[in-house]
Structures are given as C-alpha cells and as structure tokens.
A and B are shown apart, each in its own frame.
Chain A
Amino acid sequence: MTKIDPILLSVYARTFKSITDEMSISVVKTTRSPILCEAKDFVTGLYDAQGNMLEQTENLPILAFSLAPVCKYLIEYFGDDIHEGDVIFHNDVFSLGNQNNDVAVYKPVFFEGKLVAWTAVKGHQADIGGNVRGGYNPRATEVWQEALRIPPVKVYEKGKLRKDVWDLIFANIRLDIVQHDLKAQMGACTFGARRMVDLLRKYGLESFEAHKIALFDATQKMMEAEISQIPDGEYSGEGMVYFDGHHDGSKFTIRVNIKVQGNQITFDYSKTDPETSGFVNGTYTSSASATILTLLQMVNPDIPHNEGIIRPIKIIIPEGTILNASYPKATTFGNHLCPPNADAIIRALAPVIPNRVTAGWNNLLCSLTTGFDQESGDNYVDINFMAMKGGSGAMNGTDGYDHIGMIDASGGVLDQDYEMFEQQSPHLLVKHEYLEDSAGAGQWRGGIGIETEYVVGSENTQLVTFGDGDFEPAFGLFGGHDSILNTIELFYPDGSKVVPKNKDLILGVPKGTRYHHIAGGGGGYGDPKKRDRAKLREEVRNGVISAKMAREVYGLND
C-alpha cells in the first residue's frame, strides 16, 4: 500500500485541473461552430480506468456531470474490447446521454499496456440529423424525429479510422462542420491523454491509484462539511414549465423533496409531473446535472469537481416523469428544464439557508435562424446567444450579475462579437443594450436583463424558438420583487407582427423583418426600500432604473 504524500496529492490535483483546462482551450481554438468556440457549450474531462471523474472543465455547467455516467457505461459495454488507439463516440439519451446534440468523444489512455484513464470531450454539435436543421424540433414526439442516435461506437480502433462507421454517421448529419468539430474534440482528447501518460511516467501507476482515492476522499470531506451546515430536515419546492410544444396552455410542475441528514443530502423528484408528449422532457443525466449545479452554487465554489463531490448527494428521479423520459420520447429540450428545476430547489432551501441562495434567475428564451446569405453565397446558422442572456438572481449582500443568462450557463456562454455576427450572418444588429427596469427590485436587485433588435438579412429565413420565461418571470425573495417576462416578436416588412410561441418553428421569415427580443432580469432580494440610496441615484443617472421606479418601488424621494 502506497503511503499518501500530502504534498504529492496537491501536485496531482493541480495537474489534473491543468490537463482539462488545456483540453478546453484546444477545443475553443479549433472548432468552427460558434456554439462551441464562442458559446463554449462543451465540457472536457479526465476519468480513471473505472470511469470515476478525476477532474473536468465545464464551460457550461449543465454538462458538468454528464460524462462520468457514460464513461462507466462504455467500460461495461465494451468490456475487454478496449484498446490503445480506440476513439469512441456517444450521444444516445437512452444510454445515459444528456442531449442528442451533445456528442461525446472518449479516448482510453494506456500506460505500460494497461488501461489507466480516459479523456473525454462532450460538445453541442451544430447539427445531429433528425427532422429539423440544428436539432431543435419543437414538433417532435419521438427521438428519431430529433436526431441520429449514436450508442457507443468506435470510430477509431487500435489507431485505425473505421471509415465505414465514420461515413455512416456523417451521411446522417447535414453540416460538414460537425465532422471538423468532432475532429477538434478528438484532438483535445489526444492532448489530454499525452499529458496523463507524462504524469504516470513521472510518478508511476501505483502512486497515481493511491493518491486518486485520497483525492476523492478529501473532496468528499469538503462537500460533506458544506452539507452539514444545512439544518437537518425535509424541504419541498416547485418550479413551473410552460408549454410542451403541442398543447397551448399546457403547464407542468417539477416537485422536489430535499432531505438533509447530517452530511448527506437527497433530492427526490417522485412527485414531479409525468413526461410530455413533445420534446419538453429531461433525461436522467441532464436533470441530475441541473440538480448538482444548483447545489454547487450554494456551497464553497473552490471544491474540486471530481467523483468525491457527488458522493454525499443522492438524486431520485423516477422514469416517466418530465425530468426522466421513457423510451423513445423526444427530449431535446431537457437541458432547459434546468431553470425550473433550480427554481424548485431554491424555493425549497431558501427558508433554511437564506444567505446561500439567490432569488430566481432569468429563464432561457432563445432563437436560432438559418438561411442563405445572398452576399456571401453561404448558408448560415446563428444561435443568438447575445439576445438570450438575462440577469441572475440577487442574494443577500450581492446584486445579481447583469446579462449572464440562465443558471445552467452561469456566465459561461459568451455573446457573439457584434461585428463577427454581421460577418457570419446577413443580419444587421440594431440594438443590444441593458433594458431599463428589467431587473427585479430589491435591497439587492436582480441582474439586469437586455433588449436585442436586428434586421433579418435573408429571404425565406427559418426561425426556431425554444425556451420559457414568457409566462412567469424570475421570482424575488424575502421582499424582493419579480423581474419582467421574456418576449420574442417579429415585425414583418408588410407591417404584420408575429409572436412565436416559446417553442416554435416559423418558416419563410422575409428579409427586412425586425426581430425584437427581451431577456428579463433576475429576481430581487429583500425590501427595495432598503436599497443603498447613493447606488440607486447612480443607477437612475445611468438609466438602468427609471426615476419612476426609483420613486414608486424603491421609495427614493429626491
């Protein structure tokens, strides 16, 4: 039994982190889809031979805990048929994938002929087959209408490309850039694998195995200490989902029962509403990720993200509920059930840990346009990241953060650069600014939301909307106010106005249409009348709070 060297333990922890960070930089710099290189909708990770998470760099937190379960599944699936030089693809939501578009690349790492670790990169692809370009099909009722399913498949075996398999996959995907982006993901995995082998060469396998276990234990201890600070008991909360893409007026409730016992915590979703007939359904992996990321926002942010952090957390989500759809339901919207899931958790825990929770965050409402850019002679796809990011919820002592978007991204998704947006799409940006009075009022106000307007630059444009937050705003806490609703409106050149539903597919949007989008702010915390007056006056001067609101809601007298 190797003796644990506390110093070497720190060296391992630092090195694991730098490996996944380096993999992440490699993906950002080499991918083509703006979803990856601009919005950073991917995660890089490092796993041990059994698939336990050693470290990860999650640019988008909703992906944070989605790689390890699949890694364990692959190990079981391939058994002794795992070799040096293999590369495995996976996206299948019915074998622990989280979202069809999120394709994971796994590479086994060998040292002295033995499987010792895995590197992996999971990223949201610009297209994944199915009925609708881009993957968001609000009309889908089954998985095949959404995507090509990729259960675990080797695209490289012992270092050799399986050309037939590769061609089969990409014959079913519309856009060429997906091939290149997956090559970039493979490149990052190779990078990480090399670093891992260097590390083992230096310290040896035995030392690595022993210290890895010690690292998991140390992390578990940190997480347990955090949970112990939550009073024992059972707490319930609810979050609402509006519209399943098929039935106007439909709504669904996520119900969580949280049980805290000493240093262990259980999230039980047994009372959550049943699955829908549309694509508004979660998978177990994406829903559990949402739960974990919400909890992690309430604890010390410096705890390393490895296997140890999730050990004290138990999550029960029965199959057949909206958070864990049964085969072969459509599920593409599942990641976006994170905001209402977070709402439920925050509402449950706010009364017992009022200083650790935020008020409600702005929910996602997003759009994706595709069409033909006459001038450049190219097809384009644009996800309007800049327009969808509202404000975060306030907490006791800190205002919400302006314009960082929904809680499942938490400031990890970047706006397109305005000039690059106009190069890569034919649209003309008219406005992208903070919106006055969009933040929920409070002693600590919510993060400010934004208003976006652009002129559509292509004829016969296809617009897909997906999201929520247009029925219920981000909620305030402890006397703080709610924020405003999200909206998307289209003003056609002929003077007519089209208001898409929050999950919709609009065809034939004409050139010259004005696209108008509001992403609301976050909820406020505490009585607005107690807000610092100097700060308030500054905000009125800066036009983020109106004089009227300052007077009527905040009670500013001068």
Chain B
Amino acid sequence: MRFKVGIDVGGTFTDFFLVGDGMESIIHKVLSTPADPSIAVTQGLEELAQALPTPLSLKDFLSAIEVIVHGTTVTTNATLTRRGAKSALLTTQGVRDALEMRRGIREEQYNNRYTNVVPLVPRYLRIGVEGRLDRKGREITPLNLDEINEAITLFKKENVAAVSICFMNSFANPAHEQAAAELVRREMPDAYLTVSTDLLSCIRFYERVSTTALNTYVGPLLDHYLSQLQMRLKNAGFHGVLLIMQSNGGVMSPEVARKNAALTLLSGPAGGPGAGRAYAATHGLNNCIVVDMGGTSFEAALVVDSPVMVNEGEIDRLRIALPMLGIHTIGAGGGSIGWIDEGGLLRMGPQSAGASPGPVCYRKGGKLPTTTDANLVLGYLNPDYFAGGRISLDMEGAQRAIEEHIAKPLGLSIEEAAAGMYRIICTNMAQGVREITIKRGSDPREFPMVVAGGAGPLHSCLICTELDIPLQIVPRESSVLCAVGMLMGDLKHDFVRTFISRLKEMDWSSLGDVVASMKKEGGNLLAGEGIPATRHQHFIKFDCRYTKQYHEVSVVVPEALIAARDVAAIAKLFHDEHNRLYGYSLEGDPGSQVEIINVRVQSVGITEKPQRRAGAYAGSDPSAALKGQRKVYVFEEKASRPVPIYDGAKLKYGNRIIGPAMIEMETTAVFVSADYDCVADRFGSLAMYKKGREDLVADTLAGDKA
C-alpha cells in the first residue's frame, strides 16, 4: 500500500488527511504543540498508523508514504508575536525609514490612541549606503563598498542573524544589490540573506522592502523548523517527498521554501480553495465560493476555474507583495463574543473567547456569550453529542450569559436574543463573502458555496439566504478541508519582472526574452523538485493599466497572442477585465492608451491527485440514518420547533433530506434550514439546494446515471 498525507498545523488542532490506494480516506486531528509543532506531526502520524484498516508500525507506515504535504503557520505566528530573527537592512542612502513609515498611514484616522506597528528591523540596523540607480536602472552614483563593510561590521557586533538588501530602482538593474550580496555572503556566511530582486523583481519600493524584510525576519525560523521536521521524519523511516504549502495555493520543496520563507506567511488557509473546487466538480461545476468558519476567524475565497489570486496582501499591517490566493479573513467564528454598543446596537466580534476561556457553554471559565452559546440555545448543537460526545455543554450557563448581556439590554427574550446573535454573525460573514465577490466584480448568486470548518455548516443556510445563493456543498471532509487541499496542490512558482511599456510601442523581442528567462527559471526549479518537463505548465500575466492610472489590473495572456503580437486582442482582455472589476472600460476612447507595468509567469508542476472512492447509489430514503428529533430554531419561521436529526455517518449516496433538519457528524453539524433540502452525493458530501431547485443536483438525485 502506498500513502499520501496532508498535514495542516493550525493554532488549536493539527489536521491529517490520509489517502491510500483502494482504501477509504482517513481524517484525523490531534492537539497542536506550538512550542515544537513537529511533535504533534509525528504523534499524529503514529496515531494514523494505528487507525489504518490493517494497523502498521510507525516505521512501516512512514516508509510506505510517498508524499507528505505540510502546511505550517510557523512563519505566521513568528510575525504576529514578533519572535523572528534579529535582522538588519541594507538599503539606499536616504530611504531607510520607508519600512517603518509604511507610506505614512494611520488605519484608524479618528483614533489618537492608535499606534504604529513595531518595525521588523529597528532603525539603528537599517543602514542606507551610497550608490544610486535612476528610474531606468542607469548608475548615477557607484555603490560604496566601504560603507557596506562598515555596516557588516556593525551587524556582526550586534549579532545580526539575517540581512535584507533592497535598493532604489533595483527592479530595473539588480547589479548593486548583487554586489552588496556578494560582500554579505563572504563576510557573514552564516547569516540568512534576502536580496529584494531575487524574491520580487518588480517596481514599488515600499512593497519590495516590506516583503524582503518579512522574508528575512521569518527565514531562519522556517529553515530551522524544516530541518528538524525532515530529521524527525527521516529518523522515523520516511523516505518519500516532503512538500510545503504556499500562500498561492501551490506547494514547493523544502529547499525552495527555505529561501523564500515569506511564501508561507499566509499559507494557513491556502489549501481550502483548491479542495473546494474538487467538491464543486462532483456536481459538474468549475466555480465556487469556499468558506471556512473556525473558532475565531472566517475565511472566504473565490474559485473561477481555479482559485482567484491577488498580487499582494498584509500580515499584521505589514505589506507582502507576493502573489497569493485572494482569501479574505474576518473576525467571525464560534468564539465571537456578542455585545451591545453605546448606541444600543447588537454586535458580534471581532473579540473572540477563543479556546480559552472559550464559550460559556464549554465550562472553561468563559463569562461572555458567544456564537457557540447562541447555537446551543437555538438547538443547533446537541448538548450531549458535541465533539462526538466528548464534551458536555452547559445550556443553562449559555442562557444566563445571553440573558444578562444581550436579551435584557435589548428587551428581547433569550431565544430572540440568541437568534439575533446568530443573525448578526451570519450578516458579518455574508459581508466577508461580498468582499471576495461583489468587490472584485463577481455576483455571488452565480456561485455554489462550499462550506468548511467545524461551525460553517450551521450558518451557511442563512449566509446563502442573505446572498441569494441557491446551492451549498458540505464536503465529507469539511472539518479538515485545508489538509485535503494540500494533497490537491500542484507545485507553483511565481515570477515577476517590471517591464514598462505602452502596449502599442512594445519591444516584443525584449518582452519575449523576459518571458523566456522566467519560464526557464521556473522550469529549472520544477526540475530540481523532480517534476519532469512533460508536466510543466507556464501561465503568463500582464499587469496593465490605462496610462496615468496608478493601479494595475492583472490579465492572463495566452502565449499565442504574444507570439502573434496581437495588440488589439491583448488590449481587449484588459478592457474587459477593467469593465468587470470597475463597471466601465475605455475601449474605443481615442485618448486612452493601455500600458503594461509588470510581466508575470506562474510555473506549475502538475502532481498526481488522490482519487476519491465513490459509494453505491442507495436511493432517496434517509430513514436508516434518522436518530430522532430535537427542538431547533428555524429562522425562516422565527420560531423553534422539533426537526428530525440524522446521523451523518449513516447517510448514503442519494439519500435526500427535507429541511428543516439537522445532520450530526463527529467533527461538524449541519443545519438544513426550511428553505433548503439536501442530498448526499457519491463521495459522501452533502449538497444543499434551495427548495424547488432540484435541477441544480439533478444528476446526484438520479444516481448520476453512470
């Protein structure tokens, strides 16, 4: 037997998803070990070996694993808690404070108590050196190597462990950066080094210096962590391939990850969208919205053929200008606390009770009412069957907290107050979905929603009602969606070069050289990761804008159009995208020219995807899975009433459930509201469709006729 394992290290749980030839896939969770996350990883693998249909020793199990894909939040946590490496910055004389100034923004304009973020490099370790290139990369002042040597002397004296190099206009000519790098490598051979144009060769100084400094700050930690993990795995008998999850939804080898640590900064939720797409594909759909609701945060992402990418993001108010999945995170989860603001309006979150003290009903000392407490009061959670019956929930405590903090101040009953909390948290999440759809020019009504996370399927019906979304899919592996996604990720490497030109005046042969050099670089990386050339693909994007606009729109440009030098067709792609995003284009406007700012290449190495096992069609009758009845709040009716409860583990392909109903599984619960019905698909996932819209799941209802 050969296995593949996806391992997702989260703040509370480390999730495992195991597939093997011809066997049912296995979901597993262990508590995370933040001090050394690799402990939980090996512990979980040990437990997985025992959970196999034919249990194996850890050694035999590991030696049978072909691929481990690993998602880690080591870099994310180090940044959030400021426990990264002691790092320094070499930059151009006169601009060393750009990193700390962040272009002079105060995000909360009316809040005079709001303070700036602590910079990753203190000012005395940010050294500006003489040497200057102009906007076209022509040298105005030669690089002063003596000043670099002086800086190195200071860095050594200060025990600096990691160095960033980022010079003005280096995107147009990396010579000064490379010369400085050579000196640093020679004098500080043990230091971690990031050269801005190696990481991100594109225009915009602040974006580049911020991204470079982040990479340097977390690089040594990731390097250390991966070394430890590789050693532990190897000693335990693993000889397969280890791959690391990236923020762009792809995976990479540990060697690439070590050099480009910043690529992992927002990789935590990056497995989800790719996995969500696979579940949507069961129903013949290439597009979907993927949401994941956990204890403290709610993540939403959009898939249009493939997960939608953005070219920049932020962590702790620090800019990362690397291509990544456009995942929007808001503070809404099971632990979100309900409160009344000064004007008497009910609000939910962003404060969260988290895992500690947790919701009131967990009996761990929480005093303030949370989403989970409201869910319990409304009947969505079974007080005796939470986490598979391992935790018994405190109904009275939840009621008391809601009464005191919400119901009394608003003059509502406890149930009305709990329903209000439920309503508001769903409105917040619906807004989160708008961020990734409407704000980016897509209509949410046209996308099915794939719902993940322990708390997601309890809220999705109301979120979808708010947004008018007729179809939801709750994956069988909903509670470990990211780990599933890791096994579906391809190797992905992104490259960018600034190439400023009007489309009509393009020097096509230089452009061809730039594209070819990025493709070659990507091909080399993939070859180094063991992917044969037959499985390489390269995608080209231009960042375009109308001349004198300041912001670019990224458009995918087929290589054939570049080969044909088809200016009109490329311009059309841009006009259409601009129109889609912003409601207008200037196509046909004689005064408007299109210019290109950056050229991007994404090199993809296609990996083998695990195959899922389809079940046999068992007819529409779900009665074999019926467990009983419970009183549950039906929001469409604004009242509670008994609804049937089903055991999710016993539902079979084709079983059809009429809402309102509850479906309980070990790691999640699903609420099918009055306006929705539900059918189990051939892979054991649940499709919830608006009543009367059987057409959306006709194939599944009919047993896929295959």
**Chain A residues packing against B (C-beta within 8 Å):** 6-7, 9-11, 13-15, 18, 22, 25-26, 28-32, 34, 37-38, 58, 61, 176-177, 180, 183-184, 187, 190-191, 195, 218-219, 221-222, 225, 293, 296-297, 300-304, 358, 386, 389, 392, 395, 397-399, 401-405, 409-415, 417-420, 422-423, 428-434, 450, 453, 538, 541-544
Contact = CB atoms under 8 A, between A and B. Distances in A.
A18 B434 contact: yes
A184 B582 contact: yes
Q: Determine which residue in A7, A422, A429 has the highest number of CB atoms from chain B within 10 A of its CB, and name it.
A: A7
Interface string B107-128: 1111111111000001110000
Nearest to B500: A423
Contacts of B97: 432-434, 450
A436 B100 CA distance: 15
A11 B423 contact: yes
A26 to B, nearest CB: 6
A403 B104 contact: yes
B123 A432 contact: no
Contact of A418 (B109, B205, B412, B549): B205
Given A301-B110, A414-B105, A187 B584 contact: yes
A58 B110 CA distance: 11
Given A30-B582, A37-B550, A411 B105 contact: yes
A417 B135 contact: no
Given A419-B204, A432-B95, A544 B343 contact: no
Given A7-B346, A10-B345, A405 B104 contact: yes
Contact of B549 (A32, A191, A399, A402): A32
Interface in B609-651: none
B104 A222 contact: no
A419 B168 contact: yes
Contacts of B396: none
Contact of A417 (B103, B123, B586): B103
B560 interface: no
A281 B447 CA distance: 54
Contact of B586 (A31, A180, A405, A412): A180
A225 B423 CA distance: 28
Interface stretch (B186-194, B274-282, B424-432): B424-432
Contact of B104 (A399, A404, A423): A404
Given A32-B546, A404-B105, A404-B106, A221 B115 contact: no
Contact of B103 (A29, A221, A414, A430): A414
Contact of A29 (B101, B123, B582): B582
B124 A542 contact: yes
Interface of B: 93-98, 100-101, 103-116, 122-124, 132, 134-135, 140, 168-169, 171, 203-207, 341-347, 410, 412, 419-420, 423-424, 427-428, 431, 434, 438-439, 500, 546, 548-551, 578, 581-584, 586, 591-592
A346 to B, nearest CB: 11
6 contacts: A18-B431, A22-B439, A303-B342, A402-B100, A420-B204, A423-B500
B101 A415 contact: yes
B104 A25 contact: no
Nearest to B438: A22
B110 A37 contact: no
A431 B94 contact: yes
Contacts of B347: 10
A191 B583 contact: yes
Nearest to A296: B110
B343 A34 contact: no
Contacts of A404: 104-106
B343 A303 contact: yes
B549 A13 contact: no
Contacts, number: 202
Contacts of B550: 31-32, 34, 37-38, 420
B349 to A, nearest CB: 12
A37 to B, nearest CB: 4
A31 B549 contact: yes
Judged by DSSP, the binding face of B is loop
A398 B112 contact: yes
Contacts of B140: 428
Given A14-B428, A37-B550, A419 B106 contact: no
Nearest to A58: B109
Contacts of B428: 14
Contacts of A403: 101, 104
Contacts of B341: 222, 302
Nearest to B109: A410
A7 B581 contact: no
A430 B94 contact: yes
Contacts of A401: 106, 112, 114-116
Contacts of A417: 103, 204-207
A389 B345 contact: no
Contacts of B346: 6-7, 10
* Residue from A38, A190, A417 with most neighbouring chain B CB atoms (10 Å): A417
A268 B141 CA distance: 57
Contacts of B423: 7, 11
B109 A412 contact: yes
A398 B344 contact: no
Given A6-B410, A10-B427, A434-B97, 4 more contacts: A30-B549, A34-B550, A450-B97, A541-B122
A183 B423 CA distance: 37
Nearest to A410: B109
A297 B344 contact: no
A93 B40 CA distance: 67
Contacts of B168: 418-419, 422, 429
A320 B206 CA distance: 46
Nearest to A361: B112
A10 B112 CA distance: 26
A381 to B, nearest CB: 10
A430 B140 CA distance: 12
A46 B171 CA distance: 42
A445 B134 CA distance: 37
B546 A429 contact: no
Contact of B112 (A28, A222, A358): A358
Contact of A410 (B106, B424, B548): B106
Given A222-B343, A453-B94, A419 B203 contact: yes
Shortest beta-carbon contacts, A-B, top 9:
A411-B106, A218-B343, A431-B94, A542-B123, A7-B420, A410-B109, A301-B110, A222-B343, A301-B111
A395 B583 contact: no
Nearest to B206: A417
A362 to B, nearest CB: 12
B304 to A, nearest CB: 19
A513 to B, nearest CB: 16
A416 to B, nearest CB: 8
A422 to B, nearest CB: 4
A61 B344 contact: no
B101 A544 contact: no
A183 B584 contact: yes
Contact of A304 (B116, B123, B343, B439): B343
A468 B596 CA distance: 40
A176 B591 contact: yes
B206 A190 contact: no
Nearest to A394: B112
Contacts of A432: 94-95, 97-98
Nearest to B545: A32
B345 A6 contact: yes
Contacts of A450: 97
Nearest to A217: B343
Contacts of B583: 26, 187, 190-191
A490 B114 CA distance: 36
B94 A11 contact: no
A420 B122 contact: no
B110 A61 contact: yes
Contacts of B584: 30, 183-184, 187
Nearest to B597: A423
A37 B548 CA distance: 11
A250 B231 CA distance: 76
